[in-house]
Structure 1
Amino acid sequence: MSQPRVPGGDEHTIELPCGQTIAAGTLDLGMREYECDCGETHGVVMDVHPPERFLPEFLVEVLREAIETTSEEMPEFDTPHLLGVVLEEFPEAVTAHDASENADVGYAMVWITEFDSRRLHEVVVELVVELMEHAVSHADDDEALSSFEEEMVEFDVAAFVDQYRAERDLEAEDPYA
């Protein structure tokens, strides 16, 4: 969990979900996982990573059209919103670090998770499906809700993540883990 800055503390260090501490500069923009001294692999997401890292472009477009943000700094749905949902659901498993005052790192926000990048990908997809189901339930259309629920019974998150990661990695010069 992110810690408030303490006067005199080192604002350029990040406490990971496992309790280890690293320098903010340890992370580079291409990093999707961090091999920690604790023996675990932590998923890493930065605000500069596109939401298409986790979701197909068409779905990101639908989410951008459907979700109204209230932030002037982030006027459209983007990666920080996805990780905000993960942080809300798993507060003890995610460290959020504001690096906006540290021009040396190249990112403004970073989220480091207890999960590795593959499990994080599954968590993001599961939470987006829950958000979609919630939205459909508010449409006052029982047939749409029933149809959505039927399709989701057959939806295999792990298989989707495997397929999406394989397709995305074939097409990308810089694959997102």
Structure 2
Amino acid sequence: MAEPRVPGDDPGTLDLPCGETLHAHDLDMGMREISCDCGDNHAIVVDVHPISRFVPEAIADVLRETIETDDEFPEFSMPHVMGVVMEEFPDEVAVADVAEDGHVGYALVWVTDFDSRRLHEIVVELLVELMDHAASHGDDATASQFEQQMMNFDVEAFVEQYREERNFESEVDTPV
């Protein structure tokens, strides 16, 4: 018989922003979104997801090469991306550290109050801001060129095209 859980007493328990509770054992690495009892869909991200979930690998490579980390992660990766999201939306992201739980296959899991498409847009917006900030520390020509290119950049159109190309509509990419 399953043991009842009290929210917060288990490191794998996520108290979602919508008020519902979810456990990391209810999720797997292939899930990108879940239908919640609250009636909304919530995006799911685990630390082993590549940054290329959100942006092309060439951009992920540039981010890894140019951003120095000073934590336990050897290079810029999904925990950093989700850290930026949490910084902007602290009340809309639940996170669980399940590194000690050998049953799940990942160490960190985030569940957002928004669906996977909206999270994708947010991540792209935040990465563009991060790149803009980095470009501003370079020479004036580079910063100006980047700003010009970003004026014509349509996040929604990019996300739409990228999701189509990446085929994010498989059986594991829809809400469960």
TM-score (norm 2): 0.89
Q: Please give the alpha-carbon distance, in whole angstroms, between the structure 2 residues aligned to 1:31 and 1:173.
A: 10
For each residue in 1:47-86, what CA deviation from the matched residue of structure 2 results, as whole angstroms up to 9, or x when unmatched?
A: 1111110010100111111011112x31011111111110
Q: Please give the alpha-carbon distance, in whole angstroms, between the structure 1 residues aligned to 2:172 and 2:148.
A: 33
| CA shift in 2, pair 1:175/1:128, >3 Å | farther
| CA shift in 2, pair 1:175/1:57, >3 Å | farther
Instruction: Spell out the pairing of 1:32-111 with structure 2 (5 A cutoff).
Output: 32-71=32-71, 73-111=72-110
Quote how far apart the aligned CAs of 1:23 are.
2.0
| CA shift in 2, pair 1:161/1:126, >3 Å | same
| CA shift in 2, pair 1:21/1:49, >3 Å | same
Structure with more relative contact order (C-alpha pairs < 8 Å, separation 6 or more): 2
Corresponding residue of 2:113: 114
Q: Establish whether residue 17 from structure 1 lines up as the match of residue 4 from structure 2.
A: no
Quote the RMSD (CA, aligned, Å): 2.1
Q: Please give the alpha-carbon distance, in whole angstroms, between the structure 2 residues aligned to 1:151 and 1:175.
A: 34
Q: Please give the alpha-carbon distance, in whole angstroms, between the structure 1 residues aligned to 2:95 and 2:154.
A: 29
Is 1:136–1:145's contact at 8 Å kept on the other side of the alignment?
yes
Quote how far apart the aligned CAs of 1:175 are.
7.0
Structure 1: 4+ residue segments shifted above 4 A: 172-177
The one-letter code sitting in structure 2 at the alignment partner of 1:153 is M
Q: Please give the alpha-carbon distance, in whole angstroms, between the structure 1 residues aligned to 2:73 and 2:39.
A: 35
| CA shift in 2, pair 1:175/1:12, >3 Å | closer
For each residue in 1:86-113, what CA deviation from the matched residue of structure 2 results, as whole angstroms up to 9, or x when unmatched?
A: 0111101111110112111221100110
For each residue in 1:131-166, what CA deviation from the matched residue of structure 2 results, as whole angstroms up to 9, or x when unmatched?
A: 011111111x22222221111110000000011111
**Gaps (5+ residues) in structure 2?**
1-5
TM-score (norm 1): 0.88
Identity %: 58
Is 2:85–2:123's contact at 8 Å kept on the other side of the alignment?
yes
Is 2:32–2:173's contact at 8 Å kept on the other side of the alignment?
yes
Is 1:46–1:110's contact at 8 Å kept on the other side of the alignment?
yes
Where 2:91 maps in the other structure, the secondary structure is helix
The one-letter code sitting in structure 2 at the alignment partner of 1:59 is I
Is 1:53–1:176's contact at 8 Å kept on the other side of the alignment?
no
Q: Please give the alpha-carbon distance, in whole angstroms, between the structure 2 residues aligned to 1:37 and 1:49.
A: 25
